[in-house]
Structure 1
Amino acid sequence: MTEAKKSLKRTLVGKVVSDKRAKTVTVLIERRVKHELYGKIVGKSSKYHAHDETGEYKLGDIIEITESRPISKTKNWVATRLVQKAAVV
């Protein structure tokens, strides 16, 4: 067992679009995919609710989320780390 055990949990990086709820942030994940028929590159996006125990992530932050056990009806992800702080305007 010299090899490190590979994590089977998915991780995604996205932007916090809402931090209004207690211990929860909404993260927007954007990706670009090729249209099957026409071949054009189109943007797709998904919103995920992630658990934020300490409330440290704010609107506009780029964060990494990791898949976890179901925490509530809509929360299956946990915010793991801050990738980039939101720009102050």
Structure 2
Amino acid sequence: MSETKRRSGQRKVGVVIGVPGAKTVKVEVESLVQHPMYKRYVRRSRRFLAHDEQERCRPGDKVEIVESRPLSARKRWRVRQIIARGEESARAAGEAGGNGR
């Protein structure tokens, strides 16, 4: 029983909408929810603060975040991977020579 098994938490995919501080990104996750009375699908979105250890995320990037232990008062998620670079981040990287942060 000396082996520690890391439990897997929730995973979500969203778009980085801001970089409010060092090693922190704000990610917006959209989902479709069926309205209980009208049975029509409605788009809902939530925003999460996520930990970005290498500070590689830029606004517009599509990222996968995973649930983790509380890292601050509002941060409970970590950036697992960058799925796709956004247009804003590609443009900023070209203008600043690769470091558009």
Long gaps (5+) in structure 1: none
Aligned counterpart, 1:75: 75
Identify the structure with bigger relative contact order (alpha carbons < 8 Å, sequence gap 6+). Answer: 1
Structure with larger Rg: 2
What value does the CA root-mean-square deviation take over the aligned residues?
1.6
1:27-72 Cα deviation digits (max 9, x unpaired): 0000111100111110100000000011100000000000000000
Task: Kindly report structure 1 stretches of 4+ aligned residues shifted beyond 2 Å.
Answer: 5-8
TM-score normalised according to structure 1 size:
0.88
2:58 aligned partner:
58
Take 2:51 and 2:86, find their aligned partners in 1: how far apart are those partners?
Answer: 19
Percent identity at matched positions?
35
Equivalences, count: 85
Q: Where does the alignment leave 5 or more consecutive residues of structure 2 unmatched?
A: 92-101
The one-letter amino acid paired with 2:81 is R
Q: What letter corresponds to residue 44 of structure 2 in structure 1?
A: K
Instruction: Give secondary structure in 2 for the equivalent of 1:59.
Output: coil
- Comparing both structures, which one devotes a greater share of its residues to helix? 2
